[in-house]
Structure 1
Amino acid sequence: MGASIVLAGLAPTAGAAQSSAAQPSDQVSDQVAEPESNSLKVYFTSGSSRVQADQAATLDLAARTFRDGNPLVMVVSGGADTVGDPLENLDLSLRRASSVADGLVARGIPVTRLQVLGRGNSELRIPTEPGVPEEGNRVVEISWR
């Protein structure tokens, strides 16, 4: 990745869970629909920052959305669940976001149009207690403006 990408990590904070979190999912679907809002989600297995093959369609859709709408910036924001050390989860969330950004660049999105962020487990999409594995929090959200 080039120096044009903004890496911003947010330090984990207690009680940062949001009540407007996404609906929990028992399994990740390999089907991708057109985005209902200005965001798409790429899910990860526990402890991994590797984009799984079943998530490639989401990256394809993000690239198509970029080409069709030509947004000013695409924000790639990584997250982690509450399993493990919060600082390690922050690093993991940044690696996840960077993996997604690499996939977007490989699909033709200019690196200068990406902003890469890591939230660790400071902004949980699905509130959980510490140490609870939650697939819905092991996600990178791609949004645009």
Structure 2
Amino acid sequence: MTAFPKLLAAGLALALATGPVLAQETATEEGLKVYFDSGTARLKEDQTASLDQAARLFREGSPIVMILSGSADTVGSAAKNLDLSVRRAQAVADGLVDRGIPVERLQVLGRGNSELVVPTENGVENAENRSVTITWR
């Protein structure tokens, strides 16, 4: 295991052990997750901790790239959800750039509702699917 995954695992374990994870942020071994309200790409104040943690882990591990994968639930058209997922990932990218992460080290992806975290029928709201997943390589 390289140094960065060890730091990521240690940082996530520390984050989970030191207190409750806010409803609007989740840390997993696969990375960090930032959640959004339905139909919006606006970051909320309570998501600051996730962005701070991602920036800190990036600086500590110095990965080649940070991947920001946006997604949306199945409410609305596929085209609107693809656009929304890209805007969500870009909002997270902007927040990380504000925290000193070089923009050239960020990769912004939009998945729309093509790769749902929780499979649902069309028109079904699901908070797990309204998110940006932050991973590193």
What's the RMSD between the two structures over aligned residues?
1.3
Equivalence for 1:37: 29
Aligned to 2:79: 87
The one-letter code of the counterpart of 1:41 is K
Distance 1:129 1:40, change over 3 A: same
Letter in 2 for 1:105: V
The size of the alignment, in residue pairs, is 116
Residue by residue, what CA displacement relative to the aligned partner does 1:37-93 show, whole Å, maximum 9, x if unpaired? 141000000000001111110000000000100010000000000000110000000
Q: Give the Cα separation in 2 of the matches to 1:41 and 1:129.
A: 22
Matches within 5 A, 1:49-128: 49-128=41-120
**Greater share of residues in helix:** 2
* Runs of 4+ with deviation above 4 angstroms: none
Q: How much has 1:139 moved relative to structure 2? A: 0.3
Please give the alpha-carbon distance, in whole angstroms, between the structure 2 residues aligned to 1:128 and 1:30.
Answer: 21
Question: Within 2, Cα distance between the matches of 1:38 and 1:49?
Answer: 22
- In the alignment, is the contact (CA less than 8 A) between 2:90 and 2:108 conserved in 1? yes
- Identity %, equivalent residues: 61
Where relative contact order (Cα < 8 A, 6+ residues apart) is larger, the structure is 1
- Which structure 1 residue ranges, 5 or more long, are not aligned? 1-27
Change (3 A) 1:38 1:128: closer
Specify every segment of 5 or more residues in structure 2 that has no aligned partner in the other structure, as ranges.
Answer: 1-21
**Residue of structure 1 equivalent to 2:10:** none
